[in-house]
Structure 1
Amino acid sequence: MSTSLLNVSSDGPVTHVRLARPAKRNALNDALIAELQRTFAGFDAGVRAVVLSGEGAHFCAGLDLSELGERSAAEGILHSRSWHAAFEQIQFGRVPVVAVLHGAVVGGGLELASAAHIRVAERSSFYGLPEGQRGLFVGGGGSARIPRLIGVARMSDMMLTGRVHDAEEGQRIGLSQYLVDDGQGLATAFELARKIASNAPLSNFAVMHALPRIAEQGQAAGLFTESLMAAIAQADDAAKQRMRDFLDGKAGKVAKS
């Protein structure tokens, strides 16, 4: 599955997808966006979780400005929508995605990271949205996803003033869920991905697809949607077996990690 732009490998039920443009700080061009969409749409049933990372010193420095060129408004809309389609396959695809962040997580790189379900940041990570200083606006879904992580006010600050957050600040405000020392991101991500892969697939699917939609609904609609999803999940054969194992003392109990 590897290409000149992505390196893809498997470790049991966990697939590792690596951005492979280190000389360009893994900047996103049209070809890489298309590869991301095809790759995340093409996983077979054996893939239960994905680790997404970048080769070299940076996760992703955003849009490859050398390929930006001049576009009409119509062309700009189509370009933005191609990013939306690719990142939708990450956020609302078949399996949960754990992103490993290091170095630059900037512009489109932050938009890409925000589409993942779990973000593990190394201490070298830094976050920026420089579009405002370049006369641009986010076009890869950032305006829909990033405020849900850090709020509209913080995203506005980043775009209006060029404010850059370091890894510790990013962890504090919600850009990452885990903060680890440099060089430890992949090991942590794979540990998390293996835990995720051991869950019942339907439970993972519910967390990915139902939970964010419930959060956007009013309480009455959200509670009804929750009831539907809970009933579907608990009726799954895998869930029934797991409950039998738990009641028979064959499954581990909740413990502090």
Structure 2
Amino acid sequence: MQEREVVSYGVEGGIAMLELRRPDCLNAMNPALLGQLLAALERAERDEAAGAVMLTGQGRAFSAGADIGYLSRASAAEVRELARLAVAVTGRIETLGKPVLAAIHGDALGGGLEIAEACMLRLAAPQARFGHPEVKIGAVAGFGGTTRLPRLIGKGRAAEMLLTGRLIDAEEACRLGLVNRVVAADRLIAESEALLREIMAQSPLAVRLSWEAIHRGLSMSEDESARLGADYFGLVAQSEDFRIGTQAFLDKRQPEFKGR
């Protein structure tokens, strides 16, 4: 019997649109959803028609996190495998080589927030809520939240969220730096597409290496990170896009990048 589709894939205007589709349980994450999400991300990576990726959720939530019903039945080994699959998903998001944006219209909690934390960018509607309530069920943010949240908002603020399980609204999430901006719900997708297209208008190689320098640099010393940036500057200087961009600047016109 064919597995039910719980992650949809489509390309619109150069953007791969990935939608979580378990609205009856607030897009809670079980092995099927995470497996399909990983496959969709790998498809987007290979898809030459997709220059960027947007993640959304169907129904009232972006994702309420791990499927508690599944966790209550699973063995400790199965729970660990679910977490490892989720870590593979978040790792793929971070290393996809294309911009990935989470458009968050509703709750992003626990594992759902951890998926969003792995994205380059996060836009939220005013009604969205964010939190790591894992401690409230005797669990740990095991999909990467203990790693990424402190890097996004700082150790102390992350500790408060992770240790209390308290939820915050979209405005506070924006103030803390957890989301890039808050936009009207009826403009969320349009604003997300506009931001991705603004990035897609730049050199794909420069965008990819800039993100890689940011991501890798966070685990390096300041000197090592600066040297990495210098190395990548030298690397892009060998590209056709660098020649196109510098000449266009001198000619006072918009560059038309080739992606090589």
TM-score between the two structures when normalised by the length of structure 1: 0.92
CA distance in 2, matches of 1:146, 1:216: 14
Judge conservation of contact 1:100–1:119 (CA < 8 Å) in 2: yes
Secondary structure in structure 2 of the residue aligned to 1:40? helix
Query: 2:139: which partner in 1?
Result: 136
CA distance in 1, matches of 2:102, 2:171: 17
Question: What runs of 5+ residues in structure 1 fail to find an aligned partner?
Answer: 253-257
Query: 1:26: which partner in 2?
Result: 27
CA distance in 1, matches of 2:74, 2:50: 39
Query: 1:58: which partner in 2?
Result: 61
- The aligned runs of 1:1-257 (5 Å cut-off) are 4-43=5-44, 44-68=47-71, 69-72=73-76, 74-251=77-254
CA, structure 1 residues 212+88, in 2 after alignment: closer, same or farther (shift >3 Å)?
same
Larger displacement relative to structure 2 (52-61 or 159-168): 159-168
Larger displacement relative to structure 2 (108-117 or 12-21): 12-21
Aligned-pair identity in percent equals 31
Judge conservation of contact 2:30–2:82 (CA < 8 Å) in 1: no
Aligned-CA RMSD value: 1.5
AA in 2 matched with 1:240: R
Q: Deviations over 1:201-233 (max 9, x none)?
A: 111111222222123211222222111111111
Q: How many residues align?
A: 249
Judge conservation of contact 1:18–1:53 (CA < 8 Å) in 2: yes
Judge conservation of contact 1:14–1:197 (CA < 8 Å) in 2: no
Larger displacement relative to structure 2 (116-125 or 40-49): 40-49
Q: Deviations over 1:37-85 (max 9, x none)?
A: 111112223311111111111111101111112423x444333211111
Secondary structure in structure 1 of the residue aligned to 2:186? coil
